[in-house]
Amino acid sequence: MASSARSRPYHHGQLERAAIDGAIEEVENVGVAAVSMRRIARRAGVTHAALAYQFGDKAGIFTAVATEGFLLQADMIGSAATGPAGFLLGGQAYIEFALTHRGYFEVMFRPYLYRTDDPKLLVAKNAAFDILYDTARSSLTSHRSEPVTDEAVRGLAMAGWSLSHGFATLALTANVSEQLGDDTSALAGQIAQGVIALGEIAKQLSAEQT
């Protein structure tokens, strides 16, 4: 064990990149609860001391993972969420991101794992949530003749996020594969159609109650 540690460099130019990649691989392989600084260091090919010097502790590494994750998510969703149906398309992209970037996703929405007040993290997180609210407002505006209120935007944003996040979580924990198969694009599309149907049912129920 000691000889293998000495064979790894104390640091190298890509330490942060290697540490983030190592942490993601560890999360995907053993789950967030089992990840340790030493396991990340081993996978990254650096010493535990080098990792501690760069990040301080595991929370520091997870902060870097979450920050990069929110930026990647914002880019992926922002590219997809265009046009009048942007909010639904963004929801599909949210699910696809979760299923194709599991290591990031498992960390991003567990704030107890990282430093929630980190400035870079806050910028990245706000960028992702800005897309959520902006696309919700844009889609509502495209489909309503009356002015769109902040309350309506918030309601749609929270409903869409809850549905997309809930489905992504079920899929990642192997709870829906037997029901819907493994094609992530098809799964996301089916969820979008389900949301439309749910809205139609809710609208009908509301009309019956008035």
Q: What's the CATH code of the domain at 201? A: 1.10.357.10
The answer to whether residues 77 and 122 belong to one domain is yes
**In the predicted structure, residue 27 carries a pLDDT above the cut 70:** yes
The answer to whether residues 100 and 193 belong to one domain is yes
Tens-digit pLDDT profile for residues 147-182: 889 999 999 899 889 988 998 998 888 887 666 666
**In the predicted structure, residue 3 carries a pLDDT above the cut 60:** no
| Residue 181, pLDDT score | 61
The count of domains in the chain is: 2
The answer to whether residues 105 and 51 belong to one domain is no
How confident is residue 25, by pLDDT bands cut at 50, 70 and 90?
Answer: very high
Residue 11 domain boundaries = 1-56
| Residue 11, pLDDT score | 46
What CATH number is given to the structural domain containing 40? 1.10.10
How confident is residue 196, by pLDDT bands cut at 50, 70 and 90?
Answer: confident
How confident is residue 187, by pLDDT bands cut at 50, 70 and 90?
Answer: low
**In the predicted structure, residue 8 carries a pLDDT above the cut 50:** no
The answer to whether residues 88 and 189 belong to one domain is yes
| Residue 204, pLDDT score | 80
**In the predicted structure, residue 137 carries a pLDDT above the cut 90:** yes
Tens-digit pLDDT profile for residues 39-95: 999 998 888 899 998 999 999 999 999 999 999 999 999 999 988 888 888 988 998
The answer to whether residues 188 and 118 belong to one domain is yes
The answer to whether residues 42 and 80 belong to one domain is no
**pLDDT > 70 in the chain, percent:** 86
The answer to whether residues 21 and 80 belong to one domain is no
CA dist list (Å): 48 to 8, 40, 44, 119, 121: 10, 8, 10, 25, 24
Tens-digit pLDDT profile for residues 111-130: 999 999 999 999 999 999 99
The predicted model gives 136-147 an average pLDDT of 88
| Residue 12, pLDDT score | 52
**In the predicted structure, residue 184 carries a pLDDT above the cut 70:** no
The answer to whether residues 12 and 91 belong to one domain is no
102-105's contacts with Cβ under 8 Å and 24+ in sequence apart are 102/27, 102/28, 102/172, 103/23, 103/24, 103/25, 103/27, 103/28, 103/65, 104/24, 104/65, 104/66, 104/68, 104/69, 104/72, 104/73, 105/69, 105/168, 105/172
Quick check: is 100 in a domain? Answer: yes
